[in-house]
């Protein structure tokens, strides 16, 4: 049976970016485990459940709400430090602004991404703000993992519409960094194409998706790559 590990934020993950890939993989009979930084239940960004938001469809909100409340793995996740990417065919990193405060700078999350991409068998799917993880991840040789790789993620052009002049989000939290800036600084070939309907990029064993409305396409791409 194919297997997948979802690494989800405790600071606010985006519903669709987790729910759509999870739903598609479980419908293909994947054995799916869930991990969070401390092993506590992940926290969903309530904005991702509001269809009034331009990034949220009613169908996506309903699926995300259902999985968040009823999916067994989400109710009882494993701590990131206790899981090993070599035990899975794919490691999925859903996005959401919350990843910027926990997943993206977590040493064990970095190891999971590195091992999934460097290994002979595994793959990694990184979505939206979780792309920031790539900026802090190095290879076994000490180089940036994304140096010279083609990737995408949440673009600055969209971030500008969300923060105020002091880089504060609507909930009052200050953006600690901008994902696009950090990933570019790590040497990646960044191509988010903000005007495209969907944006998914494959570079070897690393699959990246721009944001919520690309999550289904990302799951389809992942399945075809596997």
Q: Indicate the domain borders of the chain.
A: 3-225
User: 94, 133, 137: which is closest to 118 by C-alpha?
Assistant: 137
Instruction: Tell me which DSSP letter residue 162 carries.
Output: T
How confident is the model at residue 120, as a pLDDT? Answer: 82
What are the structure tokens assigned to 20, written together?
Answer: 């759509």
User: 96, 61, 92: which is closest to 221 by C-alpha?
Assistant: 92
Task: List Cα–Cα distances, 108 to 56, 121, 129, 224, in angstroms.
Answer: 30, 19, 18, 28
Asked if 92 contacts 26 with a C-beta cutoff of 8 angstroms, the reply is no
How confident is the model at residue 55, as a pLDDT? Answer: 86
Instruction: Tell me which DSSP letter residue 42 carries.
Output: P
User: 155, 146, 132, 154: which is closest to 204 by C-alpha?
Assistant: 146
> What is the Cα–Cα distance from 4 to 121, expressed in whole angstroms?
12
Question: Cα-flanking dihedrals φ and ψ of residue 205, to 5°?
Answer: -90, 10
Question: Cα-flanking dihedrals φ and ψ of residue 140, to 5°?
Answer: -65, -20
Positive or negative, the Cα torsion across 10, 146, 112, 125? Answer: positive
User: Which CATH code is given to the segment(s) 3-225?
Assistant: 3.40.50.880
What are the structure tokens assigned to 195, written together?
Answer: 């005007």
Q: Which residues in the chain come in under a pLDDT of 70?
A: none
Task: List Cα–Cα distances, 59 to 50, 55, 66, 154, 197, in angstroms.
Answer: 11, 12, 11, 22, 18
User: 57, 186, 77, 60: which is closest to 131 by C-alpha?
Assistant: 186
pLDDT digit string, tens, across residues 70-95: 999 999 999 999 999 999 999 999 99
């Amino acid at each position: 049976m194919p297997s997948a590990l979802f690494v989800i934020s405790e600071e606010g993950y985006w519903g669709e970016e987790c729910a759509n890939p999870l739903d598609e993989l479980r419908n293909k009979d994947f054995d799916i485990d869930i991990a969070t930084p401390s092993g506590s239940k992940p926290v969903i960004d309530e904005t991702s459940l509001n269809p009034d938001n331009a990034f949220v469809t009613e169908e996506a909100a309903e699926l995300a709400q259902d999985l968040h409340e009823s999916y067994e793995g989400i109710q009882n996740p494993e701590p990131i430090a206790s899981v090993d990417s070599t035990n899975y065919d794919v490691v999925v990193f859903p996005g959401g602004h919350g990843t910027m405060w926990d997943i993206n700078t977590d040493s064990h999350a970095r190891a999971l991404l590195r091992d999934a991409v460097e290994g002979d068998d595994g793959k990694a799917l990184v979505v939206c703000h979780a792309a920031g993880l790539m900026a802090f991840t190095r290879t076994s040789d000490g180089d940036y993992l994304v140096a010279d790789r083609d990737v995408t993620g949440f673009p600055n052009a969209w971030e500008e519409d969300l923060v105020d002049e002091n880089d504060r989000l609507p909930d009052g939290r200050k953006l600690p960094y901008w994902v696009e800036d950090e990933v570019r600084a790590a040497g990646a070939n960044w191509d988010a194409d903000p005007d495209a309907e969907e944006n998914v990029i494959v570079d070897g064993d690393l699959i990246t998706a721009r944001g919520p409305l690309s999550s289904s396409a990302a799951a389809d791409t992942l399945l075809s790559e596997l």
